[in-house]
């Protein structure tokens, strides 16, 4: 069995982007995925927002890769024939008491080097979003945008196939062992692959996989994000993205309104920690709750306008009850010098950051041949 330079575990948008970056640097790459096709987990169950980087705590790797990714993604997507659209994102202070948090985001945006972020008066915000309700002041990030994440996954996967990268689906890594020169990975069905460098890009499965690769103690907490979709004409009531402020201690950025590139209007995602990375058979958030959350920003959206949309499950590293909205993107080689590189906590804005994460990984662990 030939030893590959790199084996990437997990064909989500991040694993695919990493495999593509290694292959374009001339490495022999295999990517393995437990499902029958690419991108069936977080990477196609998200809001499709290309985040500007204004809402991410400065000084973190998340912020650095978010801002770099928001520049890279539109370029790379265009090269793959996938459209993106910089429609801008709005954060709305609907009450006076929201103003201090709005100015905190303004400060974060400038520390993160997000271009052209500016305050809008209520009139200016209503010009962009005529159906917007009460607004004391808003923050516009014009570099925020959107992409069809499923289309991006398909394009990346096809690009890997064209480039001759080996893609092995239905390959769930259930065991790993040290080989003379790297690692041997075993699938649940008895298949084997060997690589000098292994990239653990397994999303919610990254903690378990790390244990097999000699890096125990990394827990990844699955956190459900449910959505409702606005049906009928009212889906045209929002043109861009409208964010607000979640209650303190909320494990995420808060439920927001997203007009997708396909023209849908989504309300969500909620944030509910799960015991296992499987979505409940039935939605747990009533449509009435989505209607209430949405009408705080766009009055008049009622339960009758809504239908349930597919949820996603985040791979969080902050435990339930921690009071932290987000953990850090942890990208580490562990054990040191082992050739096993792990990506933990690649939740939002991981789609935006995907190409920047890939560059970060390949620059630090180039997988040169001995």
Interface with ligand FAD (CB under 6 A): 9-15, 32-35, 39-43, 45-49, 51, 172-173, 201-203, 205, 209, 225, 269, 312-314, 346-352
First to last CA, the chain: 18
Closest by alpha carbon to 45, among 218, 174, 222, 221?
A: 222
Q: What is the spatial distance between Cα 330 and Cα 206, in angstroms, rounded to a whole number?
A: 11
32 or 291: whose CB is closer to ligand FAD?
32
User: Half-sphere exposure (CA, 13 Å, Cβ side) for 328?
Assistant: 9
Q: Which residue number, 42 or 112, has a Cβ lying nearer to ligand FAD?
A: 42
Least spacing, CB of residue 78 vs ligand FAD, in Å: 17
For the chain, how long is the longest CA-to-CA vector? Answer: 67
Nearer to ligand FAD, 93 or 209 (CB): 209
Give bridge partners of residue 243 from the DSSP assignment. 91
Least gap, CB of 46 to ligand FAD (angstroms): 3
Minimum distance of ligand FAD from residue 357's CB (angstroms): 8
CB of 223 to ligand FAD, least distance (A): 8
Give the three-state DSSP class for 133. coil
Closest approach of ligand FAD to the CB of residue 32, in Å: 5
Bridge partner list, 166: 30
- Give the whole-angstrom CA distance, residue 173 versus residue 44: 21
Nearer to ligand FAD, 32 or 125 (CB): 32
Report the residue number, 237 or 355, with the smaller CB distance to ligand FAD: 355
SS3 328: coil
């Amino acid at each position: 069995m030939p030893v590959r330079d790199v084996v990437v575990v997990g064909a989500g948008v991040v694993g695919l982007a990493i495999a593509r970056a290694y292959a374009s640097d001339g490495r022999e790459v295999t990517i393995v995925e437990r499902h029958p096709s690419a991108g069936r987990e977080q990477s196609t169950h998200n809001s499709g927002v290309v985040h500007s980087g204004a809402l991410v705590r400065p000084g973190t790797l998340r912020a650095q890769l978010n801002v770099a990714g928001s520049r890279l993604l539109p370029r790379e997507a265009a090269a793959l024939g996938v459209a993106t659209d910089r429609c801008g994102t709005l954060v709305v202070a609907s009450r006076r008491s929201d103003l201090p948090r709005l100015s905190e985001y303004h400060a974060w945006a400038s520390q993160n080097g997000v271009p052209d972020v500016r305050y809008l008066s209520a009139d200016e915000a209503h010009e962009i979003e005529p159906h917007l309700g009460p607004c004391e002041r808003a923050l516009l990030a014009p570099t925020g945008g959107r992409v069809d994440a499923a289309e991006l996954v398909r394009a990346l996967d096809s690009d890997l196939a064209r480039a001759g990268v080996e893609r092995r689906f239905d390959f769930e890594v259930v065991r790993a062992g040290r080989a003379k020169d790297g690692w041997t990975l075993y699938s649940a069905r008895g298949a084997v692959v060997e690589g000098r460098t292994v990239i653990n890009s397994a999303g919610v499965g990254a903690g378990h996989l790390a244990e097999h690769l000699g890096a125990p103690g990394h827990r990844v907490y699955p956190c459900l994000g449910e959505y409702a979709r606005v049906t009928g004409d009212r889906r045209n009531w929002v043109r861009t993205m409208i964010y607000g402020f979640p209650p303190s201690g909320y494990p995420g950025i808060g439920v927001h309104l997203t007009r997708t590139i396909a023209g849908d209007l989504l309300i969500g995602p909620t944030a509910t920690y799960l015991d296992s990375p499987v979505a409940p058979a039935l939605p747990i958030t009533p449509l009435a709750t989505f209607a209430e959350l949405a009408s705080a920003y766009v009055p008049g959206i009622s339960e009758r306008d809504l239908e349930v949309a597919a949820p996603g499950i985040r791979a969080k590293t902050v435990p339930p009850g921690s009071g932290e909205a987000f953990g850090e993107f942890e990208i580490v080689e562990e054990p040191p010098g082992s050739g096993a590189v792990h990506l933990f906590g690649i939740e939002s804005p991981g789609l935006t950051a995907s190409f920047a994460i890939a560059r970060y990984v390949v620059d630090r662990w180039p997988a040169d041949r001995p």
